[in-house]
């Protein structure tokens, strides 16, 4: 088994994942209760060791999904804007020192895309793009069954491309990033300013044609369409907490994406898949990635359970 961990700004979700993607000991803890105060890497290592001790087993590997930029070797975390104390640190080394088994870290959206590819039984051919509109604007790219990571491991940071004419400061240190205008954070601002008298999850129910909502949808669409035009994908996956909200105008978003995408192709032959929202997706994705890194063999068939990733 692999210990899969989905570490977010609000919750830590974890479970032991077997080669058939079944879970044992799934649990959810509040991030603030686990990772607070000083020495956050040490606290994360201690928390992970406690998970192993409770199960009384040593898994083949530990995989941690983080809302971070991560190096291509899946060890070093450059930046984690939503969790203090997880910047410029070799997380894998910190946890391995305590747990004494291989540890890998990855961007959380990369692991969710791996899960969505598995869950939708997609062929590992061509480009598969994942766009996850949650607290931020998550993006992951798969090419022929491999997550695209780039020279430094930080490919797919679509939420941090600059929007023309925008100068608002972003948590990443840049100005005018797409994420500031097309994310759950922006939707919360819209709610507080324009729809404060209604439940947050009902924003789209009666207001899909409101100008500020239309602008919000258009901003999301422009970012997605830009990447689609560049890469001409085989599949487009849409997900995240915003997109799965009650009465979210999916058809309006799809139409806007097509409107901003190059004609006639890829605009005229786009296929959209919606990610199924679940607390377990990132954990299962972590397990899938763990088995890919290990390259575990099925001794009965002599084939890899999951193809090993390139070095």
| pLDDT over 90, % of the chain | 79
The residues, any chain, with a CB within 8 Å of residue 159's CB and separated by 6 or more, are 136, 137, 138, 139, 177, 178, 179, 182, 183, 223
pTM (global) more than 0.85: yes
pLDDT given for residue 223 in this prediction: 97
What stretches of the chain show up as alpha helix (H) in DSSP?
Answer: 31-34, 40-55, 91-99, 108-119, 184-194, 211-231, 250-260, 281-294
DSSP string computed for 272-296: EEEPPP-TTHHHHHHHHHHHHHHT-
Domain ranges for the chain? 2-110+278-304, 122-274
CATH superfamily assigned to domain 2-110+278-304: ATPase, nucleotide binding domain (3.30.420.40)
pLDDT value at residue 246:
82
**Which whole number is the average pLDDT over 124-130?**
93
- Whether 29 has a pLDDT exceeding 60, the answer reads yes
Q: Domain 122-274 belongs to what architecture?
A: 2-Layer Sandwich (3.30)
User: Is it the case that residue 302 has pLDDT exceeding 80?
Assistant: no
| Residue 310 pLDDT exceeds 80 | no
Domains 2-110+278-304 and 122-274 share a fold: yes
Q: What average pLDDT score do residues 49-53 get?
A: 94
Per-residue pLDDT of 226-260, as tens digits, reads 999 999 999 999 999 899 888 999 999 999 999 99
Give the per-residue pLDDT at 296.
Answer: 57
Question: Does residue 171 have a pLDDT over 90?
Answer: no
């Amino acid at each position: 088994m692999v210990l899969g961990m989905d570490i977010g700004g609000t919750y830590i979700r974890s479970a032991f994942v077997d080669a058939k993607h079944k879970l044992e000991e799934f649990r959810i803890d509040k991030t603030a209760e686990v990772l607070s105060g000083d020495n956050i890497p040490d606290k994360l290592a201690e928390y992970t060791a406690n998970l192993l001790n409770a199960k009384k087993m040593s898994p083949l590997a530990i995989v941690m999904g983080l809302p971070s930029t991560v190096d291509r070797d899946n060890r070093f975390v450059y930046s984690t804007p939503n969790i203090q104390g997880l910047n410029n640190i070799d997380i894998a080394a910190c946890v391995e020192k305590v747990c004494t088994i291989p540890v890998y870290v990855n961007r959380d959206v990369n692991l969710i895309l791996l899960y969505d590819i598995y869950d939708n039984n997609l062929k590992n051919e061509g480009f598969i793009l994942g766009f996850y509109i949650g607290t931020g604007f998550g993006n992951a790219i798969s090419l022929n069954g491999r997550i695209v990571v780039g020279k430094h491991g930080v490919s797919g940071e679509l939420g941090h491309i600059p929007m023309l004419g925008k100068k608002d400061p972003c948590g990443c240190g840049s100005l005018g990033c797409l994420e500031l205008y097309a994310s759950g954070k922006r939707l919360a601002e819209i709610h507080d300013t324009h729809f404060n008298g209604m439940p947050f999850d009902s924003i789209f129910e009666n207001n899909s044609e409101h100008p500020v909502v239309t602008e919000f949808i258009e901003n999301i669409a422009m970012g997605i369409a830009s990447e689609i035009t560049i890469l001409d994908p085989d599949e487009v996956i849409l997900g995240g907490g915003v997109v799965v909200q009650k009465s979210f105008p999916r058809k309006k978003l799809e139409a806007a994406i097509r409107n901003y995408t190059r004609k006639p192709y890829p605009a005229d032959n786009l296929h959209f898949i919606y990610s199924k929202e679940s607390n377990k997706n990132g954990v299962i994705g972590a397990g899938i990635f763990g088995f890919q890194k290990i390259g575990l063999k099925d001794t009965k068939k002599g084939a890899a359970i999951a193809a090993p990733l390139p070095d």
